[in-house]
Structure 1
Amino acid sequence: MQKIVEGINAYNLSRVPALSDTWTPLEFIVKNENGDEIAGILAGLGYWNGLDIRILWVEASYRQKGIGTSLLKHVEGIAREKGATVAMLDTFDFQAEDFYLKNEYEVVGEIKNFPKGHKRIYFSKRLSK
């Protein structure tokens, strides 16, 4: 498996030079007053300084309180400071489509009827003005 990862990375970097040497994780957890984890974001910056958001989750009873937006804005701000100019992610229509639209993300693609009766949506957002 390592050879496959190294092979694609070598090819990619031979075509477009890296702006960063490694993956820089941007991962944060929110805890409630009891110390329970109630939200979190798993994201990071890759070779070309794009913010790649992998997971953003808020426990159901804490949704609609601004926690998700705060996490998203926090990570976007750090990414901007580190030179990121674009953020990207994917979600499903039954997850957080409206949330990302509200936070100024644009749909850049979708897979219809995956899973059956739903769609997978790909978003991006320019982080630089």
Structure 2
Amino acid sequence: MKNYVIEESTREEYNLVDKGIVEYNLSKVPFTQEPSFIPINKVIKGANGEVLAGINSILYCWNCLYIDVLWVKKEFREEGYGTALLNEVEKIAKERGCKLIHLDTFDFQAKDFYLTQGYVVFGVLDDCPLEHKRYYMKKNI
């Protein structure tokens, strides 16, 4: 490799890289869903419209659901909001043909919660962050 520079990418370049890997993946394994990426994002609001909890997830390419974020406002934790959101996106994903859900969580977040919801740990990353663990979890539906 000669005569190159490494620069911060622009939004357009980010999209070009993203599109490149999607096209490569498609050349190796056909996608089984249309559209290829379906966001499934939900919130729970209180009577005054305040967001109390939310989940951001995406059903991608092969009918797999990736849960990116599940958050419940501190004073509403352990009241069933997380379970309700998880059940809602799982139901939607299943209706769309999903068979596999995956996510990651830290030891100071919600590993035990996900275990009660039928998820299993399939990988652990130690010292991420330092002196903590990051758990990779999945659930077959």
1:47 partnered with 2:84? no
The residue that corresponds to 1:35 in the other structure is 49
1:52-105, Cα deviation, whole Å (9 max, x unpaired)? 100000001001111100110111011000000000000100011111011110
Q: Which amino acid aligns with 1:69?
A: T
Residue segments in structure 1 that go unaligned for 5+ positions in a row: none
Partner SS for 2:98: coil
The residue that corresponds to 1:112 in the other structure is 126
Residue segments in structure 2 that go unaligned for 5+ positions in a row: 1-13
The residue that corresponds to 2:29 in the other structure is 16
Cα separation, 2, equivalents of 1:30 and 1:77: 16
TM-score normalised by length of structure 1: 0.95
Cα separation, 2, equivalents of 1:78 and 1:9: 24
Task: Give the CA RMSD over aligned residues.
Answer: 0.9
What percent identity do the matched residue pairs reach?
A: 44
1:57 partnered with 2:100? no
Q: 1:83-122 maps to which residues of 2 (within 5 A)?
A: 83-122=97-136
From 116, 123, 128, the counterpart of 2:137: 123
Tell me how far 1:9 sits from its aligned partner: 0.9
Q: Which amino acid aligns with 2:70?
A: L
Rg larger in 1 or in 2?
2
- Extract structure 1 runs of 4+ deviating beyond 3 A: none
Tell me how far 1:113 sits from its aligned partner: 1.3
1:7 partnered with 2:5? no
The residue that corresponds to 1:76 in the other structure is 90
Cα separation, 2, equivalents of 1:70 and 1:2: 34
Aligned length: 127
Q: Which amino acid aligns with 1:13?
A: L
TM-score normalised by length of structure 2: 0.87
